[in-house]
């Protein structure tokens, strides 16, 4: 398919022949596939290289929606796809230059914008910025405007192509089905590259080659191909035996040797693993022969109370040990050194596990006593039928989100009151649970919150202690809960352990009196100081609003406004997606494979609704609206926990029925409405801009919690119903949104 064959003359309708695939089908499928592929690509790539996007994934998503929506509104203009190749090249070159750009480095964006914020971004050090707060905010804002402008402009030609192709179809529901199938293909294509741990160089190369077909003119194609080649070279990261990077399905991991100096000589003691270019973990050598060679660095009286040894001082038996957030194996090696008979090591990232298998000097993952489980910790708590003498929470602190549809980080559902209670149920009567977490001075609210959640889950205050960071391992704050009798006996029998606990007793007693709110499954925001929207969000959302207003005014002009019916449908469906993703993450985990399957299932449900609308005569949408509103109320009233303990199989069916019904009704409403719209590009643009607004409204969950977003979605659907026009007008309609969906690694769309 050449660029000229991608569309008919404006206003012409492609005649669809049942059972025959047309050029328009191929073109729409490929545009939809490419668009979703690049949405996920941008989210993953920018989240790793510009760390602020690791914490606000849906920032990229919202500006992608804005670009696509504006592009669809400009469908009557000829798409200039070459501009998208230039945007990628600009980003690739600037990110490749990194710190060589000085204060204008894009990688410092999160540092500038987090100054004075109450939102925790790991390893930012505002005190090292040689700028005052105002200057840092101005530079950060300017850099952010630049980046989101590039994202928006990149997606405008895709929106134009999509709008033109939609307008050319004689049968709009066929067009919508092709769009959904293309989106599904884009989701699985990118997920396949993620499964193979391929880097951005491959993502850009393959995705860009696929988009060359949309560029018109031989000269422009050659220039686009040259830009693509330069961009792939710019993002290439050479590997050496001393340092290399690998892209897991969740994040960018960089491995480099760790060494220290003994008697003037450097000694390699393990490896550093960086996540998204900041420190994440050490792979530390605690093997007895290594420790014995360097007694000055490993004092015999201190080593038993180091980070990776101290949890075992609190347990009376170690027949069965569970470690969640096992990482590359330090905690597991500690369990084996301290006499554990059986160890279950759980970690969500398969690449980190493989790094541990390959590089850990004590080879804990090769020991016959160890069972390695690649799983989400919360999902493991629900599935496990075993009981443990000791449960250790390693440093699970996350640097990325679980989904592009949600502001919830990968570890947020692990650190809730309900999660601690579920873990506690896996303890034997004389078992104990140890949680280690890095709590800094300005982040003291995190320590207070963890202590509050443990007290709520176990009915009594946990024991607290502190561990110093150093060459022997990460430090942090420790919390111990479980059998009071066991803890009393262990402290009585070990004066050094008792002294460590006594040193921090005053701090933990003060924390116990703190009024800080606990994190719960409905408000899982461990890293927020309180129920408020971080100031940084107001900056970003204000910027989004200004971009949208300027773009809509320039695109639609004074006479051609948004279709508010489709706008509200898009906003409502986006919030419905957020709800479903959050609930399913609680039931089935936040692993990237689960996320891909969940988003695929949502797309398939929309496809079924579209097929239903195409085959069943629907004289009135009122029954479907009522079904949509009723099913939303059922989802709001029904606690998700009721599904958690159902048998496997029955749980999946029940969840599909309860959570799938609103999607189905919304799909029927949208498809029926879309089929009667005269200006399909315009209503599609309105729908995407509505989805963008819905994504912005998600930030209200920081105040209200996640569940009330369903009521907000219900209100938006009511507005959609009230703004529906009668059949035969410019857009008679109802329904959900053809919006791109996605999830950390693989996500879904309905374009």
pLDDT tens digits, residue range 555-589?
A: 766 555 678 999 999 999 989 887 777 777 777 76
pLDDT of residue 645: 66
- What is the Cα–Cα distance from 600 to 596, expressed in whole angstroms? 6
Q: 65: closest CA among 577, 730, 665? A: 577
Q: 433: closest CA among 331, 311, 520, 336? A: 311
Side by side, which strands form the sheet with 342-347?
A: 370-374, 342-347, 320-324, 388-393, 427-437, 476-482, 463-467
Query: Could you tell me the fold of the domain covering 295-398+417-512?
Result: Rossmann fold (3.40.50)
Q: Is 13 left (phi over 0), alpha (psi -120 to 50) or beta?
A: beta
Contacts of 178 (CB under 8 A, 6+ apart): 25, 28, 29, 32
- What are the domain boundaries of the chain? 22-237+556-722, 295-398+417-512
3-state SS class at 361: coil
To which H or E segment does residue 399 belong?
A: none
Distances, alpha carbon 147 to alpha carbons 79, 138, 401, in Å: 22, 14, 20
- What is the Cα–Cα distance from 337 to 354, expressed in whole angstroms? 21
Q: Read off the tokens for 618.
A: 């629907």
Across the range 264-284, mean pLDDT stands at 82
Q: Read off the tokens for 569.
A: 């449908």
Distances, alpha carbon 153 to alpha carbons 53, 172, 198, 235, 663, in Å: 18, 27, 26, 20, 31
pLDDT tens readout for residues 684-742:
888 888 988 898 888 898 899 988 999 999 999 999 999 986 433 333 333 343 333 33
pLDDT tens readout for residues 516-531:
999 999 998 888 888 9
Higher-pLDDT residue of 263 and 77 is 77
Across the range 221-250, mean pLDDT stands at 91
Confirm if 13 and 166 have CB atoms less than 8 A apart. no
Q: Read off the tokens for 698.
A: 């998600």
- What is the Cα–Cα distance from 590 to 582, expressed in whole angstroms? 9
Return the exposure string of 522-542: e unless at least 16 CB atoms fall within 10 Å of the residue's CB, then b.
Answer: bbbbbbbbeeebbebbebbbe
pLDDT of residue 150: 94
The DSSP bridge partners found for residue 640 are none
- What is the Cα–Cα distance from 590 to 296, expressed in whole angstroms? 43
Q: How many residues in total does the chain contain?
A: 751
**CA–CA–CA angle 408, 411, 50 (5° rounding):** 65
To which H or E segment does residue 467 belong?
A: strand 463-467
Distances, alpha carbon 622 to alpha carbons 118, 576, 618, 625, in Å: 45, 20, 10, 5
Confirm if 86 and 153 have CB atoms less than 8 A apart. no
- Work out the percent of the chain whose per-residue pLDDT is above 70: 86
In the predicted structure, residue 481 carries a pLDDT above the cut 90: yes
pLDDT of residue 177: 93
pLDDT of residue 29: 95
- What is the full DSSP assignment across 440-466? -STTHHHHHHHHHHHHHHHSSPPEEEE
pLDDT tens readout for residues 110-151:
777 766 554 445 555 544 444 566 777 788 888 888 999 999
**CA–CA–CA angle 433, 437, 442 (5° rounding):** 140
Reported as a pLDDT band with limits 50, 70 and 90, residue 475 is confident
Higher-pLDDT residue of 749 and 380 is 380
pLDDT of residue 117: 52
- What is the Cα–Cα distance from 583 to 639, expressed in whole angstroms? 10
Q: Is 343 left (phi over 0), alpha (psi -120 to 50) or beta?
A: beta
Q: What is the CA radius of gyration of the chain?
A: 27
Query: Could you tell me the fold of the domain covering 22-237+556-722?
Result: Growth Hormone; Chain: A; (1.20.1250)
- Work out the percent of the chain whose per-residue pLDDT is above 90: 45
Reported as a pLDDT band with limits 50, 70 and 90, residue 5 is very low
HEC letters along 593-662:
HHHHHHHHHHHHHHHHHHHHHHHCCCCCCHHHHHHHHHHHHHHHHCCCHHHHCCCCCHHHHHHHHHHHHH
3-state SS class at 127: helix
pLDDT of residue 703: 92
Q: What is the mean pLDDT of the chain?
A: 84
Q: Is 277 left (phi over 0), alpha (psi -120 to 50) or beta?
A: left
The DSSP bridge partners found for residue 477 are 437, 466
- What is the Cα–Cα distance from 228 to 709, expressed in whole angstroms? 41
- What is the Cα–Cα distance from 448 to 512, expressed in whole angstroms? 7
- What is the full DSSP assignment across 3-44? TGGG-PSTT--BPPPTT---HHHHHHHHHHHHHHHHHHHHHH
């Amino acid at each position: 398919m050449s660029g000229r064959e991608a569309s008919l003359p404006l206003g012409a309708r492609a005649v669809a022949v049942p059972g025959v695939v047309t050029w328009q089908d191929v073109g729409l499928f490929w545009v939809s596939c490419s668009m979703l592929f690049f949405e996920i690509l941008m989210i993953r790539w920018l989240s790793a290289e510009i760390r602020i996007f690791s914490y606000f994934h849906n920032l990229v998503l919202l500006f992608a929606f804005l670009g696509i929506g504006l592009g669809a509104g400009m469908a009557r203009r000829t798409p200039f796809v070459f501009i998208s190749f230039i945007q990628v090249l600009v980003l690739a070159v600037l990110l490749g230059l990194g710190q060589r750009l000085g204060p204008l480095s894009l990688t410092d964006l999160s540092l500038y914008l987090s100054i004075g914020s109450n939102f925790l971004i790991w390893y930012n050090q505002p005190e090292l910025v040689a700028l005052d707060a105002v200057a840092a905010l101005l530079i950060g804002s300017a850099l952010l405007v630049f980046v989101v402008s590039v994202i928006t402009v990149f997606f405008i030609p895709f929106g134009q192509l999509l709008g033109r192709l939609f307008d050319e179809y004689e049968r709009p529901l066929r067009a919508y089905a092709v769009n959904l199938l293309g989106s599904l293909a884009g989701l699985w294509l990118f997920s396949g590259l993620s499964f193979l741990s391929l880097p951005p160089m491959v993502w850009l190369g393959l995705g860009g080659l696929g988009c060359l077909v949309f560029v018109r003119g031989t000269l422009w194609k050659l220039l686009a191909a040259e830009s693509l080649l330069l961009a792939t070279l710019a993002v290439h990261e050479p590997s050496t035996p001393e340092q290399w990077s690998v892209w897991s399905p969740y994040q960018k991991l960089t491995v480099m040797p760790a060494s220290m100096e003994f008697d003037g000589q450097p000694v390699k003691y393990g490896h550093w693993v960086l996540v998204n270019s900041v420190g994440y973990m050490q792979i530390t050598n605690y093997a007895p022969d290594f420790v014995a060679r360097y007694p000055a660095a490993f004092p015999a009286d201190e080593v038993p109370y180091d980070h990776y040894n101290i949890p075992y001082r609190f347990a009376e038996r170690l027949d069965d040990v569970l470690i969640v957030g096992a990482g590359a194996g330090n905690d597991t090696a500690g369990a084996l050194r301290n006499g554990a008979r059986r160890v279950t090591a759980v970690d969500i990232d398969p690449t980190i596990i493989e790094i541990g298998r390959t590089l850990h000097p004590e080879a804990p993952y090769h020991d016959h006593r160890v069972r390695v489980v690649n799983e989400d910790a919360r999902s493991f708590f629900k599935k496990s039928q075993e009981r443990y003498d000791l449960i250790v929470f390693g440093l699970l602190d996350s640097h990325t989100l679980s989904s592009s549809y949600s502001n919830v980080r990968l570890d947020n559902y692990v650190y809730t009151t309900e999660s601690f209670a579920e873990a506690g149920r896996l303890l034997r009567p004389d078992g104990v649970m140890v949680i280690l977490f890095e709590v800094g001075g300005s982040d003291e609210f995190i320590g207070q919150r963890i202590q509050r959640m443990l007290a709520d889950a176990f009915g009594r205050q946990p024991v607290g202690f502190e561990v110093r960071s150093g060459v022997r391992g990460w430090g942090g704050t420790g919390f111990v809960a479980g059998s009071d009798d066991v803890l009393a006996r262990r402290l009585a029998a070990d004066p050094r352990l008792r002294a460590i606990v006594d040193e921090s007793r005053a701090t933990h007693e003060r924390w116990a009196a703190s009024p800080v709110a606990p994190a719960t499954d409905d408000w899982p925001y461990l890293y927020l100081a309180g129920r408020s929207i971080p100031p940084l969000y107001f900056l970003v959302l204000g910027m989004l609003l200004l971009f949208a207003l300027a773009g809509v005014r320039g695109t639609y002009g004074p006479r051609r406004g948004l279709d508010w019916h489709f706008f509200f449908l898009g906003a409502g469906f986006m919030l419905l997606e957020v709800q479903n993703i959050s609930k399913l993450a609680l039931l089935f985990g936040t692993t990237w494979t689960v996320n891909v399957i969940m988003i695929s299932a949502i797309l398939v449900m929309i496809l079924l609704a579209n097929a239903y609308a195409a085959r069943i005569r629907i004289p009135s949408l009122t029954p479907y609206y009522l079904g949509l509103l009723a099913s939303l109320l059922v989802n709001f009233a029904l606690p998700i926990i009721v599904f958690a303990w159902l048998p496997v199989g029955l749980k999946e069916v029940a969840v599909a029925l309860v959570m799938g019904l609103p999607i189905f009704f919304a799909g029927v409403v949208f498809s029926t409405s879309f089929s009667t719209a005269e200006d399909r590009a315009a209503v599609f643009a309105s729908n995407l801009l509505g989805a963008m607004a819905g994504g912005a409204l998600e930030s209200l969950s920081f105040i209200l919690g996640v569940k009330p977003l369903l009521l907000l979605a219900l209100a938006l659907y009511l507005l959609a119903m009230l703004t529906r026009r009668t059949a035969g007008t410019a857009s008679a309609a109802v329904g959900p949104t053809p919006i791109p969906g996605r999830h950390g690694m693989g996500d879904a769309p309905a374009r």
